[in-house]
Amino acid sequence: PLLQPKMTVVPDRGWQIYPCNSNANVKVTVTTKGAIAKEGVVSLKVTNDGGKEVFEEKTVDLAQGNPFVYTFKMPKPGFALVDVTLKESPCRNRLKLGFDIEKVMPAAPEPRDFDAWWAAQFAEQDKLKDAISIRRADFPTFDQRWDYYCVRAKTIVPAPDGCTYGILSVPKDAKGKLGCIVITQCVGPGYTTPDPNYARTDMMTLALSVHPWDPIDPGFDKTFAEENKKCVNGTYTLRRFESRETYHYRNAVLGCRELVKYVRGRKDFSGELFYVGGSQGGGFGLILGGVFKDAFRAIAVQMPAMCDFAGFTLGRRSGWPYPGDAWVKLHPGDEAAAVERFGYFDGVNWAKRIKSPILFTIGAMDDCCPVSGTMAAYNSIPRSTVKFLQYGKD
């Protein structure tokens, strides 16, 4: 078979992080059949983290030099996505260059009544009597080292929502009081049992759902699929996003808070509370970390979603699930309403309130949870909070 052209792009700094207004030099090499290509045209496009703002577009004739060095510098904190393509060929490569990344901040301020609105929601929620109901959950496929319980949290949100669920596992042979690891699902239907990667035989594990549908109901998969079809773009993440009061995540935040409160109030709880989650679960780690402030012994979030929903207003990519982008597509020119509405659920705003120690993992090339948003969330965590960043260039 014919050998396809190959392209390498190598920056002059291994971690691909630079000060603003300094040169980032990227060496581009194109080979054909194992030898340096003598002809062809390479196209370069540099954008604001893959968003609509284009910093530069140019072409390079390989007949004039191969390898060649492309130089770029960015005047403001952020991330430049460099796309390099050999024209009329599937040959392509790309990389992300970061500039003063510790200064990347949210695209928009938080809503002025952020604290007041959520305080009112929580106060109303706390008035509910018998908000928690619990039942055993026994299935042959469950790991028999734990007892499992389906915990339902009733919320103040009107039907057909008005609740969410958690699956609690309690080790059968544990002695004395137990700590608890809290996890929240990534995108999708969620857990029917706690992820075995996080379950421990000396601790409880609370696996949170963001849905108002019983995760161990035999009809759950059908319900989940049918509900998604009713939503904008076919995803629950944009369900009822016409207002902050009806948005899907209002119910999820209230329910997940109620479930964590339940665990903290159990007689067999030792007081040691931990959190771990990635993507949507990472976003909820920021939310619950902000809700409970210093209640967690430690929090670990991996490439958290739900960060910097207003990123599109600066020409960079917004945080998953991009509700602001979807809103403006349906309501052109109505950016202000989108920024205000979804700011109440944005991880960057909850991150400002975290006091618990937190480990924050970021991937610069993450196509789902853009690094502009995740880095803005990390930088929003107070300097007085013990925080650690694990930054990956890929």
Does residue 288 sit in helix, strand or coil? helix
Distances (CA, A) of 241 to 238, 276, 286, 326: 6, 27, 21, 10
Amino acid (one-letter) located at 249: Y
Which stretches of the chain score pLDDT less than 70? Answer: 1-3, 140, 196-197
Which one-letter DSSP state was computed for residue 231? S
Task: Give the pLDDT of residue 196.
Answer: 67
**pLDDT single digits (tens) 338-380:** 999 999 999 999 999 999 999 999 999 999 999 999 999 999 9
Q: Name residue 297's amino acid.
A: R
Task: Tell me what pLDDT residue 156 has.
Answer: 98
What pLDDT was estimated at residue 81?
Answer: 98
The Cα–Cα gap between 104 and 88 comes to: 36
> CB neighbours of 159 closer than 8 A, spacing ≥ 6?
none
| In contact, 293 and 352? CB cutoff 8 Å | no
pLDDT (0 to 100) of residue 140: 67
Q: Residue 51: is it exposed, middle or buried by C-beta count within 10 angstroms (0-12/13-18/19+)? A: buried
pLDDT at residue number 34: 85
Residue 242, pLDDT score:
94
Written as six digits, the tokens of 263 are: 């665990």
Q: What is the pTM of this model?
A: 0.95
**pLDDT on residue 33:** 86
Torsion of CA 158, 159, 162, 163, to 10 degrees: 180
Which residue type, as a one-letter code, is found at position 240?
A: R
Angle between helices 114-126 and 248-264 (to 10 degrees): 60
The pLDDT value given to residue 1: 47
Sign of the CA dihedral 324, 326, 328, 330? negative
Check the CA dihedral 123-126-129-131 and report its sign: positive
